[in-house]
Amino acid sequence: MAILVYVEQASGKIKKTSLEAISYAFALAQKTGEGAVVAIALGTIDVQELAAIGEAGASKVLHGTDERLNAGVIQAHATAVAQAFQAVGASTLVLAKSSLGDAVAARLAIKLEAGLVSNVVELPQLENGFVVKRSIYTGKAFADTIMTTPKKILAIKKNAVDQKVDGVKAQVEVFDLSLPATDFASKITDTKRTIGEVLLPEADIVVSGGRGMKGPENWGMIEDLAQSLGAATGCSKPVSDLGWRPHHEHVGQTGVKVAPTLYIAIGISGAIQHLAGVNSSKCIVVINKDPEAPFFKAADYGIVGDAFEIVPQLTAALKAAQ
Amino acid sequence: MKILVCITHVPDTTSKIHFTDNNTKFDPSGVQYIIGPYDDYALARAVELRDQTGGTLTALNVGEAETEPSLRKALAIGADDAIRINSFPKDSFFVAKQIAQVAKEGSYDLILMGRESIDFNGGMVHGMVGELLGMPSFSPVMKLEVEGTTVKMAREIEGGKEYLEAQLPLIAGCQEPIAEWKIPNMRGIMSARTKPLVVVEPGSFATQAEASSYQLPPAKGAVKLVDKDQVAELVRLLKNEAKVL
């Protein structure tokens, strides 16, 4: 029995969260004694890039080369992954949680008659059946979930495992797909991508600003700090509601949920809805002039003071330390 | 056009989460319940579409009797009728099966719901219902227009937006800014009392992944404050102590 991992690409690069999913599958295979970890990748991707998936723990990569799959066409991706699942005789499908991954996994659960758990945060416990721990209530709690089906699908939350980097290059095989035209019935008319920025849901470091920044004209210092760290920029809900920053930067319960190694919150008081979007961060730094700001209770490090003075100093100190 | 909106009945976003019975049950004491925020966006857009194109709007929830206030609120906001499938929502597979069964009978043209519930955050039900009904499903949808049988949508993708066109019938998992939340007015609240709310018994479907016990995250240690004149010290701590740089 093999474990199949559905990996996602963005502009021909395998996403880091997908490499974490491979690493998770590798650790799972070791724990359950299951066989090989096989990846399925879809669309136009360079063969070297595919072989490098092996470093995270996959021994083989199946490549569905149909260029119509460069876009995240949900039904076609689900059909393709189901065909790979059957072809390798897999028992378990692992993937990284993402907006595309969720949609594809849900359809696959029905197609494959497999149980599905999303937001998985660690390897399963096998002492009493197959028990998976997942994050619920937007990170405010965890649930141990018993999976009863022979086939299983696990959608992994970011940072659930450390990415493995010491594997060897994987063998890459072209995988023939037979995709019905109905899977492509919806027509993508346009795609707009923000080029050159670090993607917020995937970022290892996030710098967010709140209403304490006083206006969109002051975001230059947030961007400078983010740039010095190679970080993505985010904001609180009031900031996106006021139109200071675009909606896709809104971090929180009803916005983007992030799980970076380092989250820096500037001029954000720390409403419970905002905290729900950041509570999976490894380390939280809060800069706020109000010592009573609730965010300090959720922070690892804090500075009480004026962001307009501290942020430029922090950027300079970071540059000096590099 | 026949529209179905599926709503969840969930703890309000400011709720403190607690568990009882040796951490096997959610503790509802002191918790206020709301229509899931993403479902509320779907509902608001559904009301607008019904008003534009005519037809009917049905609100649906899989839940026990205590979820009825949320369905009444959906009626007050503008749904024409409501269906409650009388069962605790055991897992996403179970819920999807229940919804698909009712949706099949109703032959809806458009099925909207939130991109995910805010209790279990799975984001799975729209895709499962789509596969069960053989319909395309799209998520997260932030714009949705209907022109005849063509649906024009904008979907959020990592790092951008994708614009697409598809044909009815279809399913969409919605998020902001698809519509502004609607607050029920007095007339809506009055009329909601007499609008039909049908209770149907659940189909007997198996579950696949039920939660058995719950845990809260470990308490966070105290924050380490750095003096505002010692910003370089913060960089040193992040590098050498937290090891995150």
Q: What is the CATH number of the domain that holds A301?
A: 3.40.50.1220
Classify residue A80: in a domain, yes or no.
yes
For residue A290, is pLDDT > 90? yes
**In whole angstroms, what is the distance from residue A316 CA to residue A5 CA?**
42
Residue A35 CB contacts under 8 Å (≥ 6 apart), including other chains: A1, A2, A3, A29
Neighbours of A153 (CB within 10 A): 29
Mutate to test the interface with A, among B208, B213, B215, B224 (most CBs of A within 10 A): B208
Provide the shortest C-alpha distance from residue A35 to chain B (in Å). 24
For residue B19, is pLDDT > 80? yes
Q: What is the mean pLDDT of chain A?
A: 93
Which among A125, A156, A184 is the end of a domain?
A: A184
Among A86-95, A191-200, A258-267, B106-115, the minimum mean pLDDT is found in: A191-200
Q: What pLDDT shows up at residue A198?
A: 75
Average confidence (pLDDT) over A104-132:
95
Q: Residue B120 — pLDDT band, cuts 50, 70, 90?
A: confident
Which among A157, A184, A211 is the end of a domain?
A: A184
Mutate to test the interface with A, among B20, B97, B158, B164 (most CBs of A within 10 A): B158
Among A80-84, A102-106, B218-222, the minimum mean pLDDT is found in: B218-222
Instruction: Give percent of chain B above pLDDT 90.
Output: 84
- Residue-wise pLDDT for A26-51, tens only, equals 999 999 887 899 999 999 999 999 99
Q: Are residues A210 and A246 in the same domain?
A: yes
Contacts of A286 in chain B (CB under 8 A): 223
CB pairs under 8 A between A and B: 264
Classify residue A195: in a domain, yes or no.
no
Q: What pLDDT shows up at residue B174?
A: 96
Average confidence (pLDDT) over B105-120:
94
Q: Are residues A312 and A219 in the same domain?
A: yes
Q: Are residues A47 and A12 in the same domain?
A: yes
For residue B6, give the nearest of B69, B65, B59 by alpha carbon.
B59
What ipTM is given for this predicted complex?
0.91
- Residue-wise pLDDT for B162-199, tens only, equals 999 999 999 999 998 899 899 999 999 999 999 999 99
Asked if B169 is an interface residue toward chain A (Cβ–Cβ < 8 A), one would say no
Specify the long-range contacts of residues B226-231, CB closer than 8 Å, at least 24 apart: B226/A301, B226/A302, B226/A303, B227/A303, B228/A303, B228/A304, B228/A305, B228/A306, B228/A309, B228/A310, B231/A303, B231/A310, B231/A313, B231/A314, B231/A317
Classify residue A143: in a domain, yes or no.
yes
Classify residue A193: in a domain, yes or no.
no
Asked if B212 is an interface residue toward chain A (Cβ–Cβ < 8 A), one would say yes
Q: Do B224 and A78 touch (CB under 8 A)?
A: no
Asked if B183 is an interface residue toward chain A (Cβ–Cβ < 8 A), one would say no
Average confidence (pLDDT) over B58-69:
97
**In whole angstroms, what is the distance from residue A281 CA to residue B171 CA?**
33
A216 vs A322 pLDDT, higher one: A216
Q: What pLDDT shows up at residue A41?
A: 97
Q: What is the CATH number of the domain that holds A76?
A: 3.40.50.620
Q: Are residues A234 and A265 in the same domain?
A: yes
Q: Are residues A13 and A131 in the same domain?
A: yes
Among A136-140, A222-226, B223-227, B234-238, the minimum mean pLDDT is found in: A136-140
Contacts of A297 in chain B (CB under 8 A): 220, 223
Contacts of A294 in chain B (CB under 8 A): none
Angle between helices B92-106 and B125-133 (to 10 degrees): 50
Q: What pLDDT shows up at residue A195?
A: 58
Provide the shortest C-alpha distance from residue A180 to chain B (in Å). 13
- Minimum CA–CA partner of A294 in chain B: B223
Q: Do A146 and B162 touch (CB under 8 A)?
A: no
Q: Residue A197 — pLDDT band, cuts 50, 70, 90?
A: low
Average confidence (pLDDT) over B61-75:
97
Total structural domains within chain A: 2
Instruction: Give percent of chain A above pLDDT 70.
Output: 99
Asked if B124 is an interface residue toward chain A (Cβ–Cβ < 8 A), one would say yes
Classify residue A192: in a domain, yes or no.
no
Contacts of B208 in chain A (CB under 8 A): 109, 114-116, 147-149
Q: Residue A246 — pLDDT band, cuts 50, 70, 90?
A: confident
Classify residue A160: in a domain, yes or no.
yes
Q: Are residues A175 and A241 in the same domain?
A: no
Q: Are residues A125 and A256 in the same domain?
A: no
Average confidence (pLDDT) over A88-116:
95
Q: What type of residue sits at position B75?
A: L
**Structural domain range at position A241:** 200-321
Closest CB from B127, B140, B244 relative to A106: B127
Q: Are residues A34 and A153 in the same domain?
A: yes
Q: Residue B236 — pLDDT band, cuts 50, 70, 90?
A: very high
SS (H, E, C) A203-228: CCEEEEECHHHCCHHHCHHHHHHHHH
Q: What is the mean pLDDT of chain B?
A: 94
Residue A227 CB contacts under 8 Å (≥ 6 apart), including other chains: none
Q: What pLDDT shows up at residue A101?
A: 93
Q: Do B121 and A136 touch (CB under 8 A)?
A: yes
Average confidence (pLDDT) over A68-81:
94
Classify residue A314: in a domain, yes or no.
yes
Closest CB from B115, B173, B209 relative to A115: B209
Q: Do A10 and B37 touch (CB under 8 A)?
A: no
Q: Are residues A103 and A218 in the same domain?
A: no
For residue A192, is pLDDT > 90? no
Provide the shortest C-alpha distance from residue A130 to chain B (in Å). 10
Provide the shortest C-alpha distance from residue A81 to chain B (in Å). 14
Q: Are residues A153 and A272 in the same domain?
A: no
Contacts of B237 in chain A (CB under 8 A): 301
Neighbours of A282 (CB within 10 A): 15
Q: Are residues A11 and A159 in the same domain?
A: yes
Which among A184, A209, A239 is the end of a domain?
A: A184
Classify residue A313: in a domain, yes or no.
yes
Q: Are residues A172 and A208 in the same domain?
A: no
